[in-house]
A and B are shown apart, each in its own frame.
Chain A
Amino acid sequence: MWDYTDKVKEHFLNPRNVGVVDDPDGIAEVGSIACGDALKFTFKLDENKRIQEAKFKTFGCASAIASASALTEMVKGMTIEEAEKVTNQDIARYLGGLPEEKMHCSVMGREALEAAIAHYKGIPEKEIEGQIVCECFGVTDREIERAIRENHLKTLDEVTNYTKAGGGCGNCHGAIQEILDRVRAEMEIAPTSKPKLSNIQKIRMIEETIEREIRPSLKHDGGDIELIDVVGNRVIVATRGACASCQASNMTLKNFVELKLRELVWPELVVEEDSQ
């Protein structure tokens, strides 16, 4: 049985914004019934060009329904520019995390949002598609590359968990590995172009990132963290508030705090919980 968070279950049992927006500004359908999940996403803008209404229809499992429901709640009130920045990580985080094998549900949400925005902007579908790599689930090289970059994926299994690519007959495993090797190599070159940080700079940036990017999200759920120490690339933090008693806090530290710090401060940082 999947270990779903209470928030996933809650959105599954009481999904928000089900349906299709009348006269939508953006509309997208991703996935297919053969693949086992599909999402129809529509939105409408208000006079200030903010998303006034967003609705979904989903064929799929509990986490697919919850991810779509979360997406519609998240993008309401956003401008197109803001909505374009929503990642699958944001959707998973909104739900308090998803099981690794179900991360593809959050990716489907982000894909639908992106396709609906492209529809609004009048970009023809072909330009965002790319080449099909996985025939079983119709996953393109572009989607695989994006999932690797955004989620720092390292293995073939992770690519399958996030995109479904390679989860069927397995004929594309070689092709996926090639993409993985290429993108990983490109990603590893990128960090060296970052200027090396002094310890003081590193600690300051970590503090700033926690304050600006991390704390607001945790506080939203009644939690908090405190920076205790930075030893080399080890960032030692203590959990506070709801996080201190939350069993999923370890997942939050790894999937959210560590990823944000790696993205915004230094790619080799490792977050550890203070054992005191």
Chain B
Amino acid sequence: MKAIYLDNNATTQVAPEVLEAMLPFFHELYGNPSSMHTFGGQLGRKLRGAREQVAALLGASPDEIIFTSCGSESDNAAIRSALTSQPGKRHIVTSRVEHPAVKALCAQLVNEGYRVTELPVDGDGRLDMEQYRRSLTPDTAIVSLMWANNETGVIFPVEKAAEIARGRGITFHTDAVQAVGKIPINLSKTAIDMLSISGHKLHAPKGIGVLYVRKGTRFSPFLIGGHQEKGRRGGTENTPSIIGLGKACELAAQNMEAENTRVKQLRDKLENELLRLIPNSRVNGDRTNRLPNTSNISFEFVEGEAILLMMDEYGICASSGSACTSGSLQPSHVLRAMGIPFTMAHGSIRFSLSVYNTNEEIEFVIEKLPPIIETLRSLSPYWTAGEQCGTA
């Protein structure tokens, strides 16, 4: 059975061009860029090329790019660096809907004696900018706000938030793991000091990430070791993956228009048709300020894991914010922060597309999902009640 992969916010396939670019670096060009001999030393030039490709996608300068092992490492490095280099400041501002790489780190920092403000979001997953402004204090060391939410695709106004932070002399970090490659970014025109990327979310392999650090930002390394990355991140360079990420960034720039036209149209078609065909369904999150590839839909009175497993019978891959899939017995922290009612939160499904999805695939899902929801509702003790009450 062919997989219909609509889970690209979880991970993506490595683009064929990316794989092709990487292969020589496993068996021919396997040298260590730090070596004195040409066999290794020639790798340095290749890495520079990849660094330039990444910088070009971000509107950054190549020496502002630090290669890391993943998005989580980048997030940890950014926040820890801001705290270490400003030892007098003990306050962090973030949001309630961050990825665990930021959320769990902040919980740990509370244990270490830091003060953390988690900004709430409204029912559409949006920040209140006035409240954000008020949260900043002279003691605030860093603001960390995600650019786009992994579950709902809702985009935060991070450029504006970064300007406000800069005006108060506060370091601004954004986890842009879901945004990079999907929406245009030009860091040279923003006040963002640090930004995290994960390779495998944009058709590069797993195990490679980037931390952008604006020139002039004080930086204290997270991984102490050799002189690699200009002493900002120890550890021998993951050359094949760095080359792969460079290529993936180049492709992302080329595909940016398709992402925002063709992929967006497929996403909208899927979303609008499912809403039309399935009663008591709704979209979670602000539909206007949203990634072009993501749709988070709740189907009332049914449970997400059951939906996923029934879709799995057809090879359809997606995610859910239900309790049974989170492993924590409670629905996703993002949907809870948005105040999505339990009747909806447990039945939420996230579809996330990529440029590799086709119209046929989307039509197949539109055909198969409504009967699945109907079947599960026929099992649900709440469904008849729901119809009578007419709740939506």
Contacts and interface: CB of A to CB of B under 8 A. Distances in A.
Given A160-B329, A167-B328, A167-B329, A33 B305 contact: no
Nearest to B305: A61
A60 B306 contact: yes
A59 B329 contact: no
A266 to B, nearest CB: 35
Contacts of A58: 379-381
Interface string B17-30: 00000000000000
A59 B380 contact: yes
A34 interface: yes
A61 B378 contact: no
Contact of A18 (B327, B329, B379, B382): B379
B307 to A, nearest CB: 10
Interface string A112-147: 000000000000000000000000110000000000
**A interface majority secondary structure:** mixed
A15 B324 contact: no
Interface in B335-392: 342-343, 346, 378-382
Contact of B331 (A12, A18, A36, A59): A36
A15 B381 contact: no
B381 A57 contact: yes
Interface residues of A, number: 29
B309 A168 contact: no
A61 B303 contact: yes
A61 B320 CA distance: 12
A37 interface: yes
B379 A57 contact: yes
A164 interface: yes
A40 interface: yes
Nearest to B377: A59
Interface in B310-346: 310, 313, 322-324, 327-331, 342-343, 346
11 contacts: A2-B305, A9-B309, A12-B309, A33-B301, A33-B342, A33-B343, A36-B331, A36-B346, A57-B381, A59-B381, A164-B329
Given A36-B303, A36-B330, 20 more contacts: A18-B378, A18-B379, A34-B342, A36-B329, A36-B346, A39-B381, A57-B380, A57-B381, A59-B301, A59-B302, A59-B380, A59-B382, A61-B304, A62-B306, A62-B309, A64-B303, A65-B379, A137-B329, A164-B329, A167-B329
> What 6 A-B pairs have minimum CB-CB distances, sorted nearest first?
A167-B329, A61-B324, A57-B381, A61-B305, A36-B323, A40-B381
